[in-house]
Structure 1
């Protein structure tokens, strides 16, 4: 049963371009389905999480990460009496705006775009679902509900100060009330992202040989999980032991968010989704104790994984790829595919051209960016 502060599809604020509603799917279900069928969603298959996509078949990509986030989000939303379809839609869309090569690619593109308004992957996700996906006859984008757009834009909290251009442009035409918190469903999607990557980065780091199980058993939560597995299954084969331990780490995080958020939601006294938006603080959170433990885990991963020599070298190489492609396209925008040319001809200044070039590079997969670099520069990256 949904709680009174859950988002109700019957009371949704609608779409920017009115459509006849489905007779067998709620508006949030349709949003979720449109996201899954979007070209940008499919491209996440070949976009990196931490490792470059071609480095190994077992490492997470943005697509597998997004699916894991959505699974966690549905579970937590159900336990908290929230709308699962809206939560899932926001979770599936949260990484649509990521560049090739993960945060490394985003940092490089943001620096290149600094004279033209910068680059932000959350804002780019809004740009994708409101403009860049062009498959429908009556509108650009996916024409998602206001609630889903709100969740994509501000699932990490209110967006204040100078807005990223991609978000400012859209918000000027369709107010997403960026100064408020998002729905509880969007907040669940944000915490599900934290749960998923804290767990799978440990798994991927172990698989990559960047650290060992003997090293991570000293970490909070992780050590207790391994101890419980060893007590229940002494002598268990190491791959099974790792899986059993890390799934317990996963479970601890999920249970903590559910228990903490139930308390916060009750204390809020909220009786509507609007009261959640104006509550003044997030209602979906980790407990302070678990958050402290997670900071220790993140510190370990930062040193041993994100700043590992092999990863740092990869970051240097792919930064060079983005740094080489951007000025090449700026000097000759017609190097972009022909279907981009009408938009480029409509650009009336360098800023407009840069934003189109940014859209194109941001949409690339890892492998396509590497292939374009090699093709256009005539040398391996």
Structure 2
């Protein structure tokens, strides 16, 4: 079976195959992710808007569920031959076992994100930039391989293929120039502490494939596996469309402002036409009608984006899991970039009211980190059992990164707000 090497686990002795087990190793990975504490905590972590601002908008958990649905829809297009590109015979055996792997990648892709969104990520990286850095995707790898409480200090002990499916950026933090490491925005990477596991995961590839897979272009990683590419496309589609729906439903951006920006884009770039489908202002004006019209409009936009995805071949690779990847049509990319950068970031994330909340979240994380560092063994429950072989900074970072927004705020007020807190509080 071509896939057998990728079903192996790093720690073989702790994961024997059960005599009554009929699930695949990949299905076992998926179950461990869904039943894990890190996955549940996503319900309390910021997507674009804070978790305490209402019940309608997405959290990291609902976003991950939508990414999984879109990802499986994309995979179905490949599996059933709905894409125009011919699926190579060499890829077919890997498609037969891909369903639970892609589900795992989509459900797990945001596990490593800390409380308070990207602002929280920057705050933790600022504290960790001299101690191995902090980056959300790298933390996801760390959760699956070390932190999730399934096996002590070994995470869910994932299979090679599941581990590679969440590895969006196969670059070691220590490989980046010092300027990139120290910049306010963390470099896209995995941590040096997981290097041995990453090297193990890519062992089945040829030496040439391993070298190319780990190579950088203009100082940035550029390759991922087929499974990771499905997750990446699904994440991009969900992020730029569903966040738009939340923004409108919450009335965060006024109708004339948003339609003005969209109108300017289509006047400059023209409508998007792909395979008989058209995306223009007619798709967006119903967003400001009733909720039924808005949902139908979002569905049409998502459908155009999904059907724009194609199977791209990278001929320099030998192995089919690296040679073939999904990609969003080049004619769509400028528009998805516009939605993410001009609409979500330009009109929402950069608003003073939102920036204030972001800064507050950063202040909470920074204050907690500094206080914990004074006496971690006194302030952090079960300190001695938390990755004892790691540095104090990394162990504190792991603890804070695993918090929900609400829990981080609660601990902050318990520590620093007079009159708040009790000796009976749950920690």
Unpaired runs of 5+ residues, structure 2, are 80-94, 176-186, 203-209, 214-222, 267-278, 421-427
2:272 maps to what in 1? none
Cα distance in 2 for residues equivalent to 1:174 and 1:304: 38
1:3 maps to what in 2? none
Whether the aligned pair in 2 keeps the contact of 1:9 and 1:26 (CA below 8 Å) is: no
Cα distance in 2 for residues equivalent to 1:255 and 1:269: 26
Cα distance in 2 for residues equivalent to 1:89 and 1:46: 20
Whether the aligned pair in 1 keeps the contact of 2:252 and 2:348 (CA below 8 Å) is: yes
CA deviation vs aligned residue, 1:272-298 (integer Å, no higher than 9, x gap): 7x2442x4xx73211111111222222
Asked whether 1:146 is paired with 2:160, we answer: yes
CA deviation vs aligned residue, 1:100-148 (integer Å, no higher than 9, x gap): 01111001110111121210111111111111122347x7310110111
1:33/1:206 CA distance change after superposition, 3 Å = same
Q: Could you tell me which of 236, 260, 276 is aligned with 1:194?
A: 236
1:294/1:10 CA distance change after superposition, 3 Å = same
Whether the aligned pair in 2 keeps the contact of 1:99 and 1:363 (CA below 8 Å) is: yes
1:374 maps to what in 2? 413
2:139 maps to what in 1? 124
Whether the aligned pair in 2 keeps the contact of 1:106 and 1:119 (CA below 8 Å) is: yes
Structure 1 residues 211-220 or 283-292, which shifts more?
Answer: 211-220
Asked whether 1:289 is paired with 2:331, we answer: yes
CA deviation vs aligned residue, 1:137-194 (integer Å, no higher than 9, x gap): 7x731011011111212x3x54267358963212225513475133211110011110
Cα distance in 2 for residues equivalent to 1:124 and 1:269: 30
Whether the aligned pair in 2 keeps the contact of 1:130 and 1:143 (CA below 8 Å) is: yes
Cα distance in 2 for residues equivalent to 1:169 and 1:67: 29
Alignment of 1:265-276 (within 5 A): 265=313, 274-276=319-321
Asked whether 1:84 is paired with 2:99, we answer: yes
Matched residue count: 351
1:16 maps to what in 2? 10
2:184 maps to what in 1? none
Whether the aligned pair in 1 keeps the contact of 2:43 and 2:61 (CA below 8 Å) is: yes
SS at match of 1:143: coil
Structure 1 residues 78-87 or 93-102, which shifts more?
Answer: 78-87
1:237/1:296 CA distance change after superposition, 3 Å = closer
Q: Which has the higher strand share?
A: 2
Asked whether 1:67 is paired with 2:65, we answer: yes
1:290/1:353 CA distance change after superposition, 3 Å = same
1:268/1:255 CA distance change after superposition, 3 Å = farther
1:365 maps to what in 2? 404
1:162 maps to what in 2? 174
TM-score between the two structures when normalised by the length of structure 1? 0.84
Tell me by how many angstroms 1:222 deviates.
5.8
1:102 maps to what in 2? 117
Cα distance in 1 for residues equivalent to 2:335 and 2:357: 29
Q: Could you tell me which of 240, 244, 247 is aligned with 2:296?
A: 244
1:25 maps to what in 2? 23
Tell me by how many angstroms 1:41 deviates.
0.5
Cα distance in 2 for residues equivalent to 1:286 and 1:166: 25
SS at match of 1:338: coil
1:318 maps to what in 2? 361
CA deviation vs aligned residue, 1:289-336 (integer Å, no higher than 9, x gap): 111122222223221111122211111111111111110001111244
Tell me by how many angstroms 1:213 deviates.
4.2
Tell me by how many angstroms 1:199 deviates.
0.8
1:4 maps to what in 2? none
Cα distance in 1 for residues equivalent to 2:25 and 2:304: 33
Cα distance in 2 for residues equivalent to 1:37 and 1:8: 29
TM-score between the two structures when normalised by the length of structure 2? 0.75
Question: How large is the Cα RMSD of the aligned pairs?
Answer: 2.7
Asked whether 1:223 is paired with 2:296, we answer: no
Structure 1 residues 327-336 or 218-227, which shifts more?
Answer: 218-227
